[in-house]
Amino acid sequence: MAIIGKDIDLAKEFLQNNQLVAIPTETVYGLAGNALDEKAVLSIFETKNRPSFDPLIVHTDSLDKLRRYVTEIPEEAQQLAEKFWPGPLTLLLPKKDIIPDLVTSGLDTVAVRIPNHSLTLRLLATLDFPLAAPSANPFGYISPTTAQHVNQQLGEKISYILDGGECGIGIESTIIGFVDQVPTVYRMGGLAIEDIENVIGKVVLMSHSSSNPKAPGMLKSHYAPRKPFFLKDRNEMSEMSDDTSAYLLFDRFIEEIDKKNQRLLSPSGDLKEAARNLFAFLRELDAQPVDHIFAEFVPDRNLGKAINDRLKRAAAID
Ligand code: AMP
Ligand code: MG
């Protein structure tokens, strides 16, 4: 099993030897390796069982270091970086040759982010290479938001898990790219579109498709529990209530249903709290002795949009 701890020097040692280390971020835990070394990057794909057409996000701790990896930072990207980094925002920028093609699945842009977690920022500051880090879960399953989640699924395959506690945001970063210089949302995530538009004005939403080569990795089925998972509204749920199902709800229980099979994402109706609980509760319900999981949508604003996106993808619907 992996060692779980807070030892930055030990994490650094593993990474320098091309081994993988799980790292905490404010979004979800990442499975990190030296982004400049093809062997380390290859082992990230293998460990996660991730298809090679799904590119990785490269993490660093300063804009100065970032300039070593990208050829250009457009004006809007600079504005967003200054406003929201460190934070749950990933930018797609034209890559320099130093970034292996394996990291970007052959694309000429690289996804970059400065994450907001003190342990990981301290680790990045001691390294002379950036970290490629996708979520630290088997490909397609629910993303991990605690060191224990990582250990349950990848503990056998990795050396070290840097334990930074529970992730504060709880869903993946928002990804912004520049298509013909137009700021475009590739993935909704932990930074609300509304907050981004307050800084750079209107952005375009890219549509998902499992066959859209511009958005590799934006597969329709993702973040999914093992149990059959369906989206329903509350009325439908209360009519079909039975002991063989579990229910993921926003802020109110359904009276007709046994409470032990229900989880409330945020009893006070707070979308940030809901995002923080989403993946942990999906895991809990997936481990219950039930045959199905049902969920309702949350209000479709701010982080609610990213939560609903994850729910749709867990149910594999458009
Ligand atoms: P993850 O690290 O698991 O949260 O996933 C990273 C996601 O970022 C991928 O699944 C892609 O959807 C997206 N991504 C990374 N690099 C690029 C890129 N160069 N162009 C478009 N999307 C990217
Ligand atoms: Mg992922």
pLDDT in tens, 19-78: 999 999 999 999 999 999 999 999 999 999 999 999 999 999 999 999 999 999 999 999
Lateral strand order in the sheet of 89-94: 3-5, 160-162, 21-23, 30-34, 131-132, 57-59, 109-113, 89-94, 174-179, 182-187, 204-205
Q: pLDDT for 237-290, tens place per residue?
A: 988 867 789 999 999 999 989 898 999 999 999 999 999 999 999 999 999 999
Top pLDDT among 56 and 140 is at 56
Cα 283 to middle of ligand 1, angstroms: 23
Measured from the Cα of 186, ligand 1's closest atom is 22
- Residue 242 domain boundaries: 229-314
Q: In this model, does residue 218 exceed pLDDT 70?
A: no
Whole-prediction pTM value? 0.94
Structurally, the chain folds into a number of domains equal to 2
pLDDT grade, residue 223 (50/70/90)? confident
- Both 180 and 39 in a single domain? yes
What is the predicted pLDDT for the residue at 1?
82
Domain assignment of residue 223, yes or no: no
Q: In this model, does residue 186 exceed pLDDT 50?
A: yes
Q: Would the CB of 304 count as within 6 Å of ligand 1? A: no
Ligand nearest to the CA of 132: 1
Query: Which of 205, 237, 270 is the endpoint of a domain?
Result: 205
Type and span of the H or E element at 84:
helix 75-84
Q: Average pLDDT of 116-132? A: 98
Measured from the Cα of 110, ligand 1's closest atom is 19
* Spatial distance between the Cα atoms of 306 and 309, rounded to a whole number of angstroms: 5
Residue to mutate, 175, 176, 179, 209, ligand 1, most ligand atoms under 8 Å from C-beta = 175
Q: Average pLDDT of 299-314? A: 96
- Work out whether the CA dihedral 212, 216, 218, 224 comes out positive or negative: positive
- Both 191 and 242 in a single domain? no
Q: What is the mean pLDDT of the chain?
A: 94
Domain assignment of residue 224, yes or no: no
Domain assignment of residue 55, yes or no: yes
- Both 267 and 185 in a single domain? no
Q: Would the CB of 137 count as within 6 Å of ligand 1? A: no
